[in-house]
Amino acid sequence: MAPAPIRLLVVDDDPAVRAAYRAMFEPHPELTLVGELADGADAVAGYERLRPDVVLMDLHLPRISGVEATRALCGRWPDAVVVVMTTFSSREHVVAALRAGASGYLVKGVAVGGLVVALRQAIAGEMPLSAAVRRELVASLGTGQPARGHTLTAREVELVGRLAHGLSNAQIARRMHLSEGSVKQYVARIGDKLGVRARTQILIRAIQLGIVDPDALPPTTR
């Protein structure tokens, strides 16, 4: 049976971009556009009213930025899935959005097939990042960060390394000879030990602690 369509709320101030989203989504039954907003300040109310599966958030918005809107939305609904979709891929924008609670960060221009995959990754708690975004992230967090002690076991460190390479739960389960349920339990336990929740936050914290070597990460990702 085909998976349920992904219900999307788009937050973008450019009417041409919103029209392009509508045209892109309409032929694809796996994507359903449930609402459009042109202002970041309306994101919380829009999310409460529509309860989408994913919010596609631009960063350059009137009144409040996409980062501020993401922070407000995720602060009220910690389980909300916000994927930034923007033209900006500088490390300043990437790090700010992820720290605000974004579940992923994509650069506009991604093909619809890649977008569907990325959105399903985000819903599953994984970490969709455009290749340019991954490079900016590791460049920013991989320098000037002192390595500090941690309490992860060798097995947990191995799993963090696989997370950093963008593997899904199913891929990690196969490579580590675990069930997908066990992988989820590992991720939750690692998050508890590192004091964070989302996979993106685990990666950021792991780089800061020296658990993950950013120079060893793949140059591209999904």
Asked whether the predicted pLDDT for residue 36 surpasses 60, the reply is yes
Asked whether the predicted pLDDT for residue 125 surpasses 70, the reply is yes
More confident residue, 142 or 212: 212
- Per-residue pLDDT, averaged over 85-92, amounts to 77
Asked whether the predicted pLDDT for residue 152 surpasses 50, the reply is yes
| Positive or negative: CA dihedral 197, 199, 201, 204 | positive
- The pLDDT of residue 221 is 36
- 138 burial level (CB within 10 Å; 0-12, 13-18, 19+): buried
Of all residues in the chain, the percent with pLDDT exceeding 70 is 85
Q: Distance between CA atoms of 7 and 119, rounded to whole angstroms?
A: 10
Which among 40-49, 100-109, 141-150 has the top mean pLDDT? 40-49
**Which residue segments constitute the domains of the chain, with CATH numbers given?**
6-139 (3.40.50.2300), 146-216 (1.10.10.10)
- The pLDDT of residue 13 is 94
Report whether 128 contacts 104 (CB < 8 A).
yes
pLDDT per position as a tens digit, 41-83: 999 999 999 999 999 999 999 999 999 999 999 999 988 999 9
Q: What secondary structure does DSSP assign to 101-146, as a single string?
A: T-SEEEETT--HHHHHHHHHHHHTT---B-HHHHHHHHHHHTSS--
Instruction: Give the contacts of 19 (CB within 8 A, at least 6 positions apart).
Output: none
* Token pair recorded at residue 152: 């992860």
Asked whether the predicted pLDDT for residue 10 surpasses 90, the reply is yes
Asked whether the predicted pLDDT for residue 178 surpasses 60, the reply is yes
Asked whether the predicted pLDDT for residue 198 surpasses 60, the reply is yes
- The pLDDT of residue 49 is 96
Average model confidence (pLDDT) across the chain? 83
Q: What is the DSSP letter of 21?
A: H
For the entire predicted model, the pTM comes to 0.68
Give the C-alpha distances (Å, rounded to integers) separating 121 from 23, 81, 179: 23, 10, 18
